[in-house]
Structure 1
Amino acid sequence: MTAYEAPALVISECQQGLLDPPPGAFSGLAAQAAGRGLIERTAELARAFRSRSLPVVHCTIVHRADQKGMLPNSYLGKMAIEERMMVEGTRDVQIPAELGPEPTDLVSSRATGLTAFYGTDLDAMLRLQRVRTLVVAGISTNVALPGLALEAVNRGYDVVLAEDCTAGTTAEDHRYMVDNLLAMLTRITPAADVIGRLPG
């Protein structure tokens, strides 16, 4: 089995406001993440990367308290403004303890937009670590992960989707997006196979 070239684990939006939200807000996504064992399996994957001194990156949403830069030009943007979701300094933006971040991890936060590369130093972080392959995990397969994968491919990275470390708002939505969009952008594989192909 050929090892991945210079891989990093990129964990998308695994934060309390999405994984353990108040009733109604993202409840379907939270239920899917819990049912698929996303936190536990992603934590195991992160430990495998750290044990080999490979980068682990957390991509988070952290909106400014004054909401500067936020626009109601999408359903998600409008909801975030109206419900004051994912605001800096609140429980919403916290990463579950099982996932870290550990002292060696990197954190890339964005205050605006819908995707991990937008308005962040993510690309610079990865290039300074000489990363070539992104192994992506987290949420959601509806929006954030396809956006992350597309932007990564445009920047020349190879992208692997650790499929059993991801979730969407429904099982049907997840399957559709994996089969019809993410399959065009990434190599889809389970976490156990990812671990088997890590260098070192």
Structure 2
Amino acid sequence: MGTDPLHAAALVISECQLGILDPGESMMAGLAAQAAERGIVGRIAELAAAFRSAGRPVVHCLIEHRADLAGIRPNSLLGSLAIKHRRMIAGTRDTLPPPQLTPRPADHVSTRAVGLTAFYGTDLDVTLRLRSVETIVLTGVSTNVAIPGFALEAVNRGYYVRIPADCVAGTSAESHEFMMRGLLPALSRITDSESVLRELRERDGR
């Protein structure tokens, strides 16, 4: 799949928010359970610390719907749930990241009010280009929608994508494995967090 230069990489953390990941509050209980079972938050936090230490960008892609839900349509299950239950509203607890993934001052936070993918209607693409990013190390949730959607849009924009398999989760083990073995290898290089950490250390001589 060609070369993907990690020296020009950014870590992207997709939709790691309490309204999605907190088992007691998530509107998608299966996804919250899978993320907890797979232990993705701790490993993502470790990657974020390593990227910051190496002087590479850390980007948080968050959902923050308007209070009036303008632009949200019930033309998808996620849109319908957001409208019905008034979830993921800007300024509410739903939108906060877990404490381990709280953005640091040098991180970039990209929010979207509408749509299903992180590039839609946001500053994400221009931010990555202005930071000379060529490779995106993609983590978070979910492997059902946001992760494959992000990977496809990133590839269309010319980025290389790596996905550490131990840093992503889906709504069920079955759907996760289906995507990880089917669509995602066609769009990205599947790896693991330890391989990414090791390469960062080797490139920086540590």
State the distance in 2 between where 1:159 and 1:180 align: 16
Is the contact between residue 18 and residue 26 of structure 2 (CA under 8 Å) also seen in structure 1? no
2:188 is equivalent to residue 186 of structure 1:
yes
> How many angstroms apart in 2 are the aligned matches of 1:182 and 1:88?
30
| Paired residue secondary structure (1:57) | strand
Query: Is the CA contact 1:3–1:197 (under 8 Å) kept in the aligned structure 2?
Result: no
1:22 CA displacement: 4.4
Gaps of 5+ in 1: none
Residue 68 of structure 1 corresponds to 70
CA distance in 2 between counterparts of 1:174 and 1:119 reads 27
TM-aligned CA deviation for residue 41 of structure 1: 0.6
3-state SS of 2:182 partner: helix
**Distance in 2 between residues matched to 1:24 and 1:96, nearest whole Å:** 12
The Cα shift of 1:5 comes to 4.0
Aligned: 1:114 with 2:116? yes
SS at match of 2:166: strand
User: Cα–Cα, structure 1 residues 21 and 72, in superposed 2: closer, same or farther, change >3 Å?
Assistant: farther
- TM-score computed with the length of structure 1 as normaliser: 0.96
Moved more, 76-85 or 146-155: 76-85
Aligned partner of residue 138 in structure 1, secondary structure: strand
TM-score using structure 2 length: 0.93
Are positions 1:150 and 2:168 aligned together?
Answer: no
- Match for 1:47 among 46, 49, 61? 49
Question: 1:32 matched to which residue of 2?
Answer: 34
Residue identity matched to 1:142: N
Question: Contact 1:13–1:138 (CA<8 Å) still a contact in 2?
Answer: yes
Partner of 1:136: 138
What are the Cα deviations for residues 148-185 of structure 1, in whole angstroms up to 9, with x where unaligned?
00000000000000110000001111000111011110
Counterpart CA distance in 2 for 1:23 and 1:196 is 35
Structure 2: tracts of 5 or more residues without a match = none
Q: Deviations 1:73-99 (Å, cap 9, x if unpaired)? A: 111111111110100111000011211
What code does the residue aligned with 2:136 have?
L
Confirm or deny that 1:170 pairs with 2:169: no
Among all aligned residue pairs of Structure 1 and Structure 2, give the percentage whose two residues are the same amino acid. 58
Residue 61 (structure 2) aligns with: 59
1:85 equivalent in alignment to 2:87: yes
Letter of the aligned partner of 2:75 in structure 1? N
* CA offset digits 1:49-70 (Å, max 9, x no partner): 0110100000000000011111
8 Å CA contact 1:6, 1:130 repeated in 2: yes
Return the offset for 1:3.
5.7
Please state how far the C-alpha of 1:131 moved relative to its aligned partner.
Answer: 0.2
CA distance in 2, matches of 1:117, 1:3: 21
